[in-house]
């Protein structure tokens, strides 16, 4: 396994996941660059902190997700382009998280995870959202107003009325 550099550049988790997969497959950076259709220098700058992932074209992101065997949204989260807070509505988040804190504090098992209001308030928003999602799943409740994924529905086929031939 390659040594992971200790930096906090956005997208470092994606670079590390790619390197791990390259090691698993016995690939060099040049092999990876060829596999996803990028120049070796561009690939090296992505993998070695020279460039953030948010400037990469959509097609490249899709190839990387495929290479890693993960959904595109997971690759975007590893690249830190999409974050957990992007999945909830801002207009309801504060009230929802305060309700969550109250529900967790009152729960006999989960209550031990929220020791004080001060610690809860000091916690990063993304961490609170992840806790909320875990709590919702475990307790089979919905607290956060989340964005729903939608699929474009094909338009129904319309029947065409045959044209009448003009009378001669």
Task: Specify the CATH number for the domain of residue 22.
Answer: 1.10.260.40
Residues 134 and 101 reside in one and the same domain? yes
**Residue 146 φ/ψ, nearest 5 degrees:** -100, 150
Strand, coil or helix: 88: strand
* Domain shared by 17 and 77, yes or no: yes
d(C-alpha 32, C-alpha 7), whole Å = 22
Per the model's pLDDT, the better-predicted residue between 46 and 19 turns out to be: 19
| CA distance linking residue 107 with residue 26, whole number of Å | 48
The reply to whether 75 and 89 lie within a common domain is no
Q: Are residues 95 and 132 in the same domain?
A: yes
Instruction: Assess whether 26 and 56 both reside in one domain.
Output: yes
Same domain, 93 and 34: no
* Whether residues 51 and 104 fall in one domain: no
In a domain, 152, yes or no: no
The range of the structural domain enclosing residue 19 comes to 12-82
Residue 160 falls inside a structural domain = no
Global pTM?
A: 0.56
What digits encode the pLDDT tens for the residues 81-140?
A: 887 667 666 666 778 888 888 888 888 888 877 778 888 888 888 888 888 888 888 888
The answer to whether residues 75 and 65 touch, using CB atoms and an 8 Å cutoff, is yes
Tell me how many domains the chain contains.
Answer: 2
Domain assignment present for residue 120? The answer is: yes
Contact yes or no for 11/54 (Cβ under 8 A): yes
Domain end residue (candidates: 82, 97, 115) = 82
pLDDT-derived band at 5 (thresholds 50, 70, 90) equals: very low
Is pLDDT of 3 > 80?
no
Q: Could you tell me how many helices (H) and strands (E) the chain has, helices first?
A: 8, 0
CB < 8 Å & 24+ apart, contacts of 105-108: 107/139
């Amino acid at each position: 396994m390659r040594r992971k550099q200790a930096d906090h550049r956005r997208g470092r988790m994606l670079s590390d996941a790619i390197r791990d997969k390259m090691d698993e497959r016995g690939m060099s950076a040049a092999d990876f660059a060829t596999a996803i259709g990028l120049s070796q220098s561009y690939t090296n700058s992505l993998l070695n902190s020279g460039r953030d992932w948010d400037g990469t074209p959509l097609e490249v992101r899709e190839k990387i997700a495929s290479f890693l065997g993960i959904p595109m949204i997971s690759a975007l989260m590893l690249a830190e382009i999409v974050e957990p807070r992007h999945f909830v509505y801002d207009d309801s988040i504060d009230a929802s998280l305060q309700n969550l804190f109250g529900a967790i504090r009152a729960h006999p098992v989960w209550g031990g995870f929220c020791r004080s209001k001060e610690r809860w308030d000091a916690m990063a928003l993304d961490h609170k959202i992840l806790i909320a999602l875990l709590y919702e799943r475990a307790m089979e409740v919905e607290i956060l107003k989340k964005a729903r994924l939608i699929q474009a529905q094909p338009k129904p086929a319309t029947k065409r009325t045959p044209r009448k031939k003009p009378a001669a």
